[in-house]
Amino acid sequence: MDLTSDDVQDILELLDTLPFGELHLQTARFRLSLRRTADGEWTQEMAALSAPSMLPGEAAPAPGGAVAAGEAAAGQPAPPDDVPGGGGLADQAAERGQADGLRSVHAPLLGTFYRAPRPGAPPFVEVGSHVDADTVVGIIETMKLMNSVCAGVRGTVAEILIADAQFAAQDSALMRVREER
Amino acid sequence: MLRRILVANRGEIAVRILRSCRRLGIETVLAVSDADADSRPARLADAAIRIGPAEPAASYLDVAAVVGAALTAGADAVHPGYGFLAENPRLARACDTAGLVFIGPTAEQLDAVGDKLRARGHAIAAGLPVVPGGEAPTAAAAAELAREIGWPVLIKAVGGGGGRGLRQVYRPVDLAQAVERAMAEAESAFGDPRVYLERYVTPGRHVEVQLLGDGTNVIHLGDRDCSMQRRYQKLLEEAPAPLLDAGLRAGMRRAAVALGEYLGYRGLGTAEFLVDCGRGTFHFLEMNARIQVEHPVTEAICGLDLVAEQIAIAEGRPLRLAQDDVELTGHAIECRINAEDWTYGFRPSPGTITRAVFPAGQGIRVDTHVQAGASVPPWYDSLLAKLIVSGRDRAEALERLRRALGRCQISGVATTVPMHAELTAQAEFARGGLDTAWCARFLGPTTGRRSAAGGTVG
């Protein structure tokens, strides 16, 4: 069940002839709330309540072949997009992860972690790489945007905790860096 | 007559397509990834079918999974929406092979316009003005070409689109490296390393013309202004384009129809143009062979249901109206409400929607796939909803829009509603007709440092 804007407009025209400021309608399939604001305008809140009717089973393979290189690549990293604060969050997170002179570099956002700027390219860092606080050590892809992950600390990469193209939860540790002071 | 359509998409466009199908009495089956199995679109469809895991490459971008789902579901047609496989000739061909109707142009037309350089060639052949430029197979060739067309230049990926694979170069000394990097990026992002060069037109406006064709006749449904962009991603669109010279407008509409006729275009498509504000000229940019995100502003001024028109054409019917039957009245503006924190570099904000309150009333339309409890997964683009507001003229539409934005209340994730409220409050925006560089200046002081990249669909 899905009401269109025209449907809602028809209901509002009726409501505008009545003294009520709110309408709440709920059935097994949907919920609609309309509320009049202080200056006489309306808001809507809708929800589909019925559970999806899932057809059984995963779709069988069909003619059309496997995913071609171009399409597989379409989901791969584009050039990194510097979101300010990526390094900053890694900074804070790294402080939390401090132990044995090792500091963790954490995922600033949840998303897919990439070790290289693009498929086939050398990784940003390997174990043993020297990094500064602003060295890019990987990319997190979230909602089709590429976000650089900075080391947030000066030192040497001691351990990489996540494989390329794996999903990283927000704040999860991606690698450990042996800090230099 | 189509009886059952597989909707091979997600998000607000899935809801949009379901809505037209329901109105037309056509059954719907929605193809869903594991991440979308409990989404609002899945609840609204007559049925849903899983096509794979959350990662788009293994679900929404998998031609075999989509066609297999359509066959399993007993569908007779596939609607691809926008993005994902919408302009992929392989899906169109696989549908043909499987005896399914692909709701879109022919595979040959997708081939003709999907390759940006080939599209440029067709536009030239159809008599359209293009931005000075051409193919740059090597850095040396690019340098030669740049000398001819003048600085600055824009490097574009032949296989790119949706604002991806673009790179501005201001100085000859930077060109060689920029071309090489652009080719490497194009190879990895689009599987095609070819790039071409165009003069970087600034100040410019992005104006596009909506086309509808049945394979024989082509009409236009007016123009849209999409100049409000950040990193080539559209933020807000309106129809018609405000404060546009009447001669330019008429010229662009004629040019768009000429291109459609040249291609024998079938279905819904958009010819994108760049208006050179300094020179008072327009140039063909590219053609999008699908329904676009911003189609509702056109629907608001022409009174048509563009998805229904797509379906009618896919059923093999001729155009249901002639150019003279198209009446464009009023003005409409669309705000793209994204799950992004604009105060923090437009940082993506996946999560769970706890509440979604939208405005309602005269001239207001909301296209959305979110509701309280909806998940906003990290694997897909950040579009949450489109607020489309129309009025008898631009002033009325804008006034309604400002008030409507004030009644949006989305909780659980950050959204761009506050950015739209500020943008639409600007006096310069109220005057209208701004160029594509204006947004960067408007956003500059509030959003911190920015760099060139991006990647959602248009």
Q: What's the complex ipTM? A: 0.89
Q: Check pLDDT > 60 for residue B316.
A: yes
Rounded to whole angstroms, the Cα distance separating A82 from A79 reads 10
* Closest Cβ opposite residue A70 in set B39, B190, B350: B190
pLDDT band at B183 (very low <50, low <70, confident <90, very high): confident
DSSP secondary structure letters along B40-51 = HHHHHSSEEEEE
Mutate to test the interface with B, among A109, A143, A164 (most CBs of B within 10 A): A143
Rounded to whole angstroms, the Cα distance separating B399 from A29 reads 35
Which tens digit of pLDDT belongs to each residue from B92-134? 999 999 999 999 999 999 999 999 999 999 999 999 999 999 9
* Percent of chain B's residues with pLDDT above 90: 88
Per mean pLDDT, which range of A87-91, A146-150, A174-178 is the poorest?
A87-91
Instruction: Mark A2-19 as b/e (b = at least 16 C-beta within 10 Å).
Output: bbebeebbebbeebeeee
pLDDT score recorded for residue B188: 73
Q: Check pLDDT > 80 for residue B276.
A: yes
- Comparing B389 with B232, the larger pLDDT belongs to B389
pLDDT score recorded for residue B446: 54
pLDDT score recorded for residue A44: 97
Per mean pLDDT, which range of A5-9, B320-324, B335-339 is the poorest?
A5-9
Contact A74 B57 (CB under 8 A): yes
Measured between CB atoms, does B69 come within 8 Å of chain A?
yes
Which tens digit of pLDDT belongs to each residue from B18-43? 999 999 999 999 999 999 999 999 99
Cis peptide before B240 (omega within 30 of 0): yes
Q: Check pLDDT > 50 for residue A80.
A: no
pLDDT score recorded for residue B30: 98
B290 is catalytic: yes
Assigned token pair, A133: 């606080």
Q: Check pLDDT > 50 for residue B8.
A: yes
pLDDT score recorded for residue A67: 38
pLDDT band at B452 (very low <50, low <70, confident <90, very high): very low
Q: What's phi and psi for B202, nearest 5 deg?
A: -150, 130
Token match 């999560």: residue? B351
Assigned token pair, A107: 């995922």
Q: Check pLDDT > 50 for residue A78.
A: no
Average pLDDT (B246-265) is: 98
- Comparing B52 with A70, the larger pLDDT belongs to B52
pLDDT band at B166 (very low <50, low <70, confident <90, very high): confident
pLDDT score recorded for residue A98: 56
* Of residues B292, B293, B295, B288, the one with CA closest to residue B273: B288
Q: Check pLDDT > 90 for residue A79.
A: no
Q: What's phi and psi for A31, nearest 5 deg?
A: -130, 135
pLDDT score recorded for residue B180: 87
* Percent of chain B's residues with pLDDT above 70: 97
* Of residues B55, B63, B66, B71, the one with CA closest to residue B88: B63
Strand, coil or helix: what is B233? Answer: strand
**Chain A (152-171) residues lying within 8 Å, Cβ to Cβ, of chain B:** none
Q: Nearest residue of A to residue B343 by CA position?
A: A84
pLDDT score recorded for residue A72: 39
**Chain A (120-139) residues lying within 8 Å, Cβ to Cβ, of chain B:** 120-121
- Comparing A38 with B15, the larger pLDDT belongs to B15
CB B356 within 8 A of CB A45: yes
Q: Nearest residue of A to residue B49 by CA position?
A: A55
Pairing of strands B4-7, B77-79: parallel
DSSP B422: H
Q: What's phi and psi for B54, nearest 5 deg?
A: -60, -40
Which tens digit of pLDDT belongs to each residue from B190-218? 888 899 999 999 899 999 999 999 999 99
Average of per-residue pLDDT values in chain B: 94
pLDDT score recorded for residue B444: 86
pLDDT band at A1 (very low <50, low <70, confident <90, very high): low
- Comparing B6 with B167, the larger pLDDT belongs to B6
Q: Check pLDDT > 50 for residue A61.
A: no
pLDDT score recorded for residue B31: 98
Distance from the Cα of A101 to chain B's closest Cα (Å) equals: 31
Taking the CA atoms of chain B, what radius of gyration do you get in angstroms? 21
**Chain B (106-145) residues lying within 8 Å, Cβ to Cβ, of chain A:** none
Measured between CB atoms, does B356 come within 8 Å of chain A?
yes
> Given CA atoms A18, A21, A27, A30 in this order, what sign does their dihedral have?
positive
Instruction: Mark A128-138 as b/e (b = at least 16 C-beta within 10 Å).
Output: ebebeeebbbb
CB B28 within 8 A of CB B22: yes
pLDDT band at B375 (very low <50, low <70, confident <90, very high): very high
Assigned token pair, B364: 């207001």
pLDDT score recorded for residue B190: 80
Rounded to whole angstroms, the Cα distance separating A103 from B347 reads 25
Average pLDDT (B61-84) is: 97
pLDDT score recorded for residue B181: 84
Q: Select, from the ranges A20-29, A81-90, B8-17, B160-169, the one with the highest average predicted confidence (pLDDT).
A: B8-17
pLDDT score recorded for residue B202: 87
Measured between CB atoms, does A100 come within 8 Å of chain B?
no
Average pLDDT (A33-46) is: 95
Which residues on adjacent β-strands are paired with residue B73? none
Q: What's phi and psi for B153, nearest 5 deg?
A: -125, 160
Is residue B325 packed enough to be buried (19+ CB in 10 Å), middle (13-18) or exposed (0-12)?
exposed
* Of residues A170, A172, A124, the one with CA closest to residue A148: A124
Rounded to whole angstroms, the Cα distance separating A45 from B378 reads 24
Q: Select, from the ranges A143-157, B151-165, B408-422, the one with the highest average predicted confidence (pLDDT).
A: B408-422
Assigned token pair, A89: 């969050």
pLDDT score recorded for residue B124: 97
Which tens digit of pLDDT belongs to each residue from B212-241? 999 999 999 999 999 999 989 999 999 999
Distance from the Cα of A154 to chain B's closest Cα (Å) equals: 23
Query: In Å, how far are B5, B24, B409, B423 from B359, measured between CA atoms?
Result: 31, 27, 9, 18
> Given CA atoms B43, B351, B294, B95 in this order, what sign does their dihedral have?
negative
Cis peptide before B152 (omega within 30 of 0): yes
Rounded to whole angstroms, the Cα distance separating B217 from B178 reads 42
Measured between CB atoms, does A55 come within 8 Å of chain B?
yes
CB A152 within 8 A of CB A105: yes
- Comparing A120 with B241, the larger pLDDT belongs to B241
pLDDT band at B162 (very low <50, low <70, confident <90, very high): low
Which residues on adjacent β-strands are paired with residue A44? A34, B358
pLDDT band at A68 (very low <50, low <70, confident <90, very high): very low
Q: Check pLDDT > 70 for residue B73.
A: yes
Is residue B33 packed enough to be buried (19+ CB in 10 Å), middle (13-18) or exposed (0-12)?
buried
pLDDT score recorded for residue A89: 43
3-state secondary structure labels for all residues of B111-163:
HHHHCHHHHHHHHHHCCCCECCEEECCCHHHHHHHHHHHCCCEEEEEEEEECC
Strand, coil or helix: what is B263? Answer: helix
Residue positions counted in chain B? 458
pLDDT band at A57 (very low <50, low <70, confident <90, very high): low
Out of B16, B199, B205, B290, the active site residue is B290
Rounded to whole angstroms, the Cα distance separating B74 from B91 reads 17
DSSP secondary structure letters along chain A = ----HHHHHHHHHHHTTSS-SEEEEE-SSEEEEEEE-TTS-EEEEEEE-SPP-BPSSPPPP-TT-SPPHHHHHHTS--S-B--TTHHHHHHHHHHHT-BTTEEEEE-SSSEEEESSSSTTSPPS--TT-EE-TT-EEEEEEETTEEEEEE--S-EEEEEE-S-TTEEE-TT-EEEEEEE--
Rounded to whole angstroms, the Cα distance separating A175 from A161 reads 5
Measured between CB atoms, does B305 come within 8 Å of chain A?
no
Rounded to whole angstroms, the Cα distance separating B168 from B170 reads 7
